[in-house]
Structure 1
Amino acid sequence: MEQKYIESTLELMDFIQDSPSCYHVVANAAAILENAGAIRLDERKPFKVEAGNSYFVTRNSSSIIAFRMPEGEATGYSIVAAHTDSPSFKVKSNPEITNGDTYTTLNVEGYGGMLMAPWFDRPLSMAGRAFIKKDDGSVEERLVNFDKDLCQIVNLCIHQNREANTGHEFKIQKELLPIICEGGRKGAVRNLVADLLEVDEDDVLDTELFLYNRMPGSIWGIDDEFFSIAKIDDLQCAFSGLKAFINCEDSQSSKIQMVALFDNEEVGSSTKQGANSDFLRQVTDRIACSMGWNEDRKYSVQAGSFMLSADNGHSFHPNYPEKCDPTNKPLINKGIMIKYAGNQKYTTDAQSGAYLKNILQNAEIPYQVFHNNSNVTGGGTLGNISTTQIAIPTVDIGSAQLAMHSPYETAGTMDTLYLTEGMKAFYKV
């Protein structure tokens, strides 16, 4: 395997390792953008944008939009959209279940469409955010990450569950509650948060915490052609979008280059920070307002725009070949996946598909086509949702991967670089 592919994969895995929740994803993305010279904007204050500068704005600390104004007259937007969230278990309020004086387990609920079996018997921790009451009476938001092996969802042994290997419907409220300590310890989580943030327990007003897999990433295979880690869906696309954006600063494009990372894709996107919110539309409206465009000018720029909805898709699985479409079988390490669906769950049509294929061909970046098997219901993504808020021609793309929505997913070592370079080529048009 060429070193350039290994390096891009290691860089992605470092980003994922440092981003155990959607809030950490956005904080790390903001740091990357600021280090590249982007200027932070505040939704509560007027936008003041100038030609040639880069900017970013966050919402709910879990979604972020960055954009770069061209030096000359803008002719449209070039947008890469991805999402910051991943399927997991969310920790409920008052989470300790004490079970007498035996063990304390955490009361959790599912977030998104998880593969549940792989969550058993592996080291887990919690990450997210907390809101802390300060001495002056104000409330401060703080990131939380217990950077240790903190809890575990423990299987029932085969001797007490002889049907374990013959198919099983998991019940979160009974079987997927992680053990966190011995004995009965009410208030343990709040105490942990207070200790971590060095505040009084009474000042911890509220938290949003998610479980995450502590297993480190791995590059594997005879030729190091695969890698596995948590949250490949969709942090591979989010990271590639960020990398492409910051590395196109010298582009001569007349487009407003933009990367938009939304939260809550895994639960339908219909939140104030999701792709089905007004976030993207408001940002484009406020750019237009700051630039002094009238409404006709604003819509003419919008009409000259294009979006890549970047969310990973399914590779051919050698153990389940019947799950794949018979004539469109994407493979790991074979290039960017362009996704189509007759039910419009993917927004790619012949026009938008041809536009992107032309860009990728000119840049000599490999690509492949994905359709769902007609008898297998596929998942949704960002593109068809965001275009209900702002109508822009869109193509759905991603990398081919395996074990999607497992806490330890698998993808190709070459594909992060393919994705990043493909997005860079798109931005430069």
Structure 2
Amino acid sequence: MECYEEDVRGLVRFLADSPTAFHAVEGFARLLEESGYRELPEREHWDIRPGGNYYTVRNGSSIAAFQVGSTLGDYSFKVAASHSDSPTFKLKEKAELEVRGHYTQLNTEGYGSILCSTWMDRPLSVAGRAIVREDGGFRERLVRIDRDMVLIPSVAIHMDRNVNEKSAFNKQVDMLPLFAGGADDVQGAVRRIAAEELGVREEEIFGMDLYLYNRMQPSVWGKDGEFLSAPRLDDLQCAYTSFAGFLRGADDRAVNVFACFDNEEVGSNTKQGAGSTFLKDVLERINEGLGKTREELRRALASSFLVSCDNAHAVHPNHPEKTDQSNCVYMNEGIVIKSHAGQQYTSDAFSIAVWRGVCERAGVPVQFFANRSDMRGGSTLGNIAMSQVSMNAVDIGLAQLAMHSSYETAGVRDSEYMIRAVKAFFDSGICEYTLGR
């Protein structure tokens, strides 16, 4: 129990320290370094040896870590994949907007599918990365303005009597955050604040990717402390817990891989997304680094397995009619296996059977989720990643409420379930599972 409670504290710290995908990946890299993993930059030669632990980062917002078994023969890959990004608002290059000389707003655009109302009337700030000129080149520096800096005010009900009956928001009108009162020096103010935060001159900043983030801290609550609420639970809860399971797992006969991709919320079709060659490149370079042939790589992939870890919709206590009547899930009742006839999720009978076997070994309960047949659901990264590199795959997650809200809710106990199941996955010999005819 003490280990479990420390896991929850670790998750809470990680959520609080990860306002953007860049910060989440930096956090994973730091934890990997502390655990003895060695970074292999993509632009350099990879010296890979049996028994070694390594990681690589792409774009500062996606990461892949891997453990190389010490007795590899006919080997396989076991992959747990998640995503580092969450819906938010990105600042435009020229961010400051003056309103009638009395207000200054920040000009933003939506990133991902946002539950807009949840961003209003709460303390927000700005975080991301800046590209700084240094020693004749460019260096990435993380930015986090660690103070309440902006707010998106609602329109008073006296000015919009039908506000509770409508739900449409215009992101260019309704969702711009208030930054300052009227002032003469507002243009370029965000850049000046970022430069001050980094301790550099404004003219040394050549590019920025900055986003709004919710300043509310994670909270464990409920009658017995059974719920966890925080920004960015989708998908940092799965990312962190699958990472923890990865660090604890080991299999001398396989290559265990943890992958966390950026840009899932906007389709994954970027150089660092699940639809990119990132995972494929990593697996191919591992195979080459071990001195194995293309034929051996194809054989390895044929016996490999990917677990796509992305949160799922729990039954809403006020609206149970929004979920399928028999394939619905609840917080704190186990890992969710997700299925979809149109393959929005990559699970099939074989991969579900394998994952159920893993969970049975770990003593972890499972639940099954499917969307209502008359409602369009979301998708995730599993089937997208498999368009680049093919292996058996299952889509799983943890049940949560208010997905894509700026402050989401999930079950505390489910975090323990995920860590235990993923550790069992990385401990097991997946290639021992065969599909009989």
TM-score category (smaller protein): over 0.9
Task: Give the TM-score taking structure 1 as reference length.
Answer: 0.97
Provide the rounded CA distance (Å) in 2 between the counterparts of 1:5 and 1:35.
20
Structure 2 SS opposite 1:334: coil
Structure 2 SS opposite 1:98: strand
Contact 2:338 2:370 in 1 (8 A): yes
Change (3 A) 1:61 1:224: same
After superposing the two structures, state which structure 1 stretch, 356-365 or 404-413, moved more: 356-365
User: 2:432 corresponds to which residue?
Assistant: none
User: 1:189 corresponds to which residue?
Assistant: 190
User: 2:80 corresponds to which residue?
Assistant: 80
Contact 1:26 1:61 in 2 (8 A): yes
Provide the rounded CA distance (Å) in 2 between the counterparts of 1:3 and 1:72.
34
User: 2:291 corresponds to which residue?
Assistant: 292
Instruction: Report the number of matched residues.
Output: 425
- Structure 2 residue identity aligned to 1:361: E
Provide the rounded CA distance (Å) in 2 between the counterparts of 1:168 and 1:327.
29
Matched, 1:125 2:125: yes
Contact 1:124 1:149 in 2 (8 A): yes
Q: Deviations over 1:167-204 (max 9, x none)?
A: 13101111111011111311110110111111111111
- Structure 2 residue identity aligned to 1:92: K
User: 2:44 corresponds to which residue?
Assistant: 45
Deviation at 1:4, TM superposition (A): 5.5
Contact 2:72 2:252 in 1 (8 A): no
User: 1:341 corresponds to which residue?
Assistant: 340
Q: Deviations over 1:7-26 (max 9, x none)?
A: 43222111011011100011
Contact 1:253 1:427 in 2 (8 A): no
- Structure 2 residue identity aligned to 1:314: H
Contact 1:5 1:413 in 2 (8 A): no
Structure 2 SS opposite 1:160: coil
Structure 1 SS opposite 2:152: coil
Structure 2 SS opposite 1:414: helix
Provide the rounded CA distance (Å) in 2 between the counterparts of 1:168 and 1:376.
18
Contact 2:128 2:142 in 1 (8 A): yes
- Structure 2 residue identity aligned to 1:183: G
- Structure 2 residue identity aligned to 1:345: Q
Task: Give the TM-score taking structure 2 as reference length.
Answer: 0.95
| 1:272-421 mapped onto 2 (5 Å cutoff) | 272-421=271-420
Structure 1 SS opposite 2:161: coil
After superposing the two structures, state which structure 1 stretch, 114-123 or 220-229, moved more: 220-229
5+ long unaligned stretches in structure 1: none
CA RMSD of aligned residues (A): 1.1
Change (3 A) 1:411 1:140: same
Deviation at 1:253, TM superposition (A): 4.2
Provide the rounded CA distance (Å) in 2 between the counterparts of 1:321 and 1:300.
45
Matched, 1:200 2:201: yes
Contact 1:306 1:394 in 2 (8 A): yes
Provide the rounded CA distance (Å) in 1 between the counterparts of 2:286 and 2:55.
12
- Structure 1 residue identity aligned to 2:320: P
User: 1:240 corresponds to which residue?
Assistant: 241
Matched, 1:211 2:187: no
Provide the rounded CA distance (Å) in 1 between the counterparts of 2:373 and 2:6.
38
- Structure 1 residue identity aligned to 2:37: A
Structure 2 SS opposite 1:246: helix
Provide the rounded CA distance (Å) in 2 between the counterparts of 1:165 and 1:253.
58
- Structure 1 residue identity aligned to 2:312: G
**Segments ≥4 residues shifted beyond 3 Å:** 2-7
User: 2:223 corresponds to which residue?
Assistant: 222
Structure 2 SS opposite 1:130: strand
User: 1:256 corresponds to which residue?
Assistant: 255
User: 1:155 corresponds to which residue?
Assistant: 154
Provide the rounded CA distance (Å) in 2 between the counterparts of 1:222 and 1:363.
27
